[in-house]
Chain A
Amino acid sequence: MTSMQTPLHNITLPASVSDAGVVMREDKFRGHLNLRGNPQDAAFTDAVAQVLGVALPLAPNTSAEQGSTRIYWLCPNEWLLLVAEGTQGQVEADLRAALAHQHIAVTDLSSGQTLVNLSGAKLDELMMKSAVYDCHASNFPVGKVVQTTFAKAGATIYKCEDGSFDLVIRRSFSDYFFLWLKDASKEYGLSVI
């Protein structure tokens, strides 16, 4: 087994602050799978629900969750599956077996992107600076998922139950993302946990 490094492995941690307004936590090594198929085909949606234990979200900008599996709606025929670390190979194999002979695609993106959680008392202010999308609670309820930009780089933003945001960011943009985050949260204090 080769040792794994997260895309954010070489960041320089900020000096610790006692009352940081922004807190970042990377959800390292989650399994990321992209799934495509026809949502109008019950054979597809039923088989996926059977494998994942939860039905695919079909409404725009919605999500579904079951245990350590979370599903993001990406477009009418495309979803992102976030699964527990190390299980993505098995989930992919199970999906391929259940969807044999169907017109589908399953792609393992785990090493191409990472999941970062942002929270803290100054989260709203940080999101206002960083995202063109309106991330205020009145427009962004718990469970909503939005593909948009964060500091002009692509990001998939999800609102967690505790009010924090989970961001899926590209591996190739992770250094840039962190440098932006460090700079943008300077006035609030940043803590990395």
Chain B
Amino acid sequence: MLHIYCPYCEEMREEEEFSYAGEAHIARPLDPESLTDAQWGDYVFFRTNPRGLHHEMWNHAAGCRRYFNVTRDTQTYVIHETYKMGEQPSVTGEKP
């Protein structure tokens, strides 16, 4: 079981309280009408699915019911950070 720090409740909570909500930081196209089917399909269906660092959304479903972001390693399951909606990750794997 994962221990996840909820940035709103400001506590570590059990995984049982959370539900996974997919890849984070996917901006909805401002003008969907102008997109080709391929571009729209890419927005709706295609995800990066990396091996390693992944920025993803979780919902504190049984707690405060807020969505927030998690930087997690998909290979090791290590959670490097959690941060509120609207914030940017500090762990990106890019060399400074």
Contacts and interface: CB of A to CB of B under 8 A. Distances in A.
A78 B11 CA distance: 17
A61 B16 contact: no
B11 A75 contact: no
Contacts of B66: 75-76
Given A75-B66, A147-B63, A148-B63, A132 B17 contact: yes
- The secondary-structure label for the interface of chain B is loop
A111 B13 CA distance: 29
Interface string B55-68: 00000001111100
Contacts of A146: 63
Contacts of B16: 132, 149, 152
A148 B17 contact: yes
Contacts of B65: 75, 147
A23 interface: no
14 contacts: A60-B9, A60-B64, A61-B9, A61-B10, A74-B64, A75-B9, A132-B14, A132-B17, A133-B13, A146-B63, A147-B65, A148-B63, A149-B16, A154-B62
Interface of A: 60-61, 74-76, 78, 132-133, 146-149, 152, 154
